[in-house]
Amino acid sequence: MGEADTSANQAPRITAVRDFLQGLQQKIGDRLQALDTGEFIAERWERPAGGGGISRVIEDGSVFERGGVLFSHVMGKSLPATASAARPQIAGRSFEAMGVSLVLHPRNPFVPTTHLNVRFFVAHAPEGSEEASVWWFGGGMDLTPYYPFEKDVVRFHAACKEALTPFGEQYHPRFKKWCDEYFFLPHRGEPRGVGGVFFDDLSEPGFETSFALTRSVAEAFIPAYAPIVERHRDRPYSERERDFQLYRRGRYVEFNLVYDRGTLFGLQSGGRTESILVSMPPLAKWRYDWHPEPDSPEARLAEFLRPREWV
């Protein structure tokens, strides 16, 4: 799988991607449901400009204080600015965008918040033109712990590497670095979490290899994350740990509202606002110029946030 497809101009199999993404949402949602006594409620929605999706959302669960596993397939007559900024040649084209995105905010501070996204984008060739459609995949997963356990972080990164290695040794180092750089808050000078993998604009290996790589990353999520939940969901905690969790959640909110491309694209393309902003935690806290006590468990989080080679 490490070699590119014989034809980099293969026509994308849009229906196959859509079927995979819908099945992925169902599979992940069912597995997460098994971890919680609360219910992931499914809601279908339509977008006036074209397309729609299914949102599976839990609030106030026993394990997940809020979580969303979302499928969307939207289309439009003209690309939003966020999608065409790096490709001025496709500005104004009609488009289709589909993906599965999830964010989970656990109740227990010892269970990390996590995020997964896999997506597929097509900018259609102008009608009557000899130009080809332009398509690409993107996605990744990352971990945002409050009280990190090294074993969990190493295993999460190992799962990311195992998902990518069959396609070539070059992908994991590149996508890990991309994740470290993307999930970073410049105004704070700190990463959002401990990273994982992130990629975008993936088309060069050809459609079949790009699609297979994206599937591999998506299917690695549950084996990477569910064992962490099961290990720590019943761990006792006090108001101190809960308070620090809410403080760190504030950083998550800052990133999603200021920097996250998915949030910006969803809002600019007329997506369903409730589904886009379900990634926000239900509770968060900000303090003025607060710093944890030196050598405290809270202060040690900073050591984990510094990018390193975990595997």
pLDDT at position 81 is 66
Segment 34-40 shows an average pLDDT of: 95
H/E element, 229: helix 221-232
Average pLDDT value over all residues in the chain: 92
Question: CB neighbours of 111 closer than 8 A, spacing ≥ 6?
Answer: 63, 228, 229, 232, 233
**Taking 60 as the threshold, does the pLDDT of residue 292 lie above it?**
yes
pLDDT at position 155 is 97
SS3 content of the chain, % helix, strand, coil (to 5): 40, 25, 35
Question: Rounded to an integer, what distance in angstroms lies between the CA atom of residue 59 and that of residue 73?
Answer: 24
With both helix axes pointing from N to C terminus, report the angle between 221-232 and 14-35 in degrees, rounded to the nearest 10.
10
Distances 210 to 76, 120, 163, 173, 218 between C-alpha atoms, Å: 24, 10, 13, 17, 12
The CATH number assigned to the domain with range 14-305 reads 3.40.1500.10
Stretch among 90-104, 183-197, 259-273 having the lowest mean pLDDT: 259-273
Give me the active site residues, please.
Answer: 115
In single-letter form, the type of residue at position 253 comes to V
pLDDT tens for 78-128 read: 877 666 556 777 878 889 999 999 999 999 999 999 999 999 999 988 877
Segment 166-184 shows an average pLDDT of: 97
Question: Rounded to an integer, what distance in angstroms lies between the CA atom of residue 73 and that of residue 51?
Answer: 6
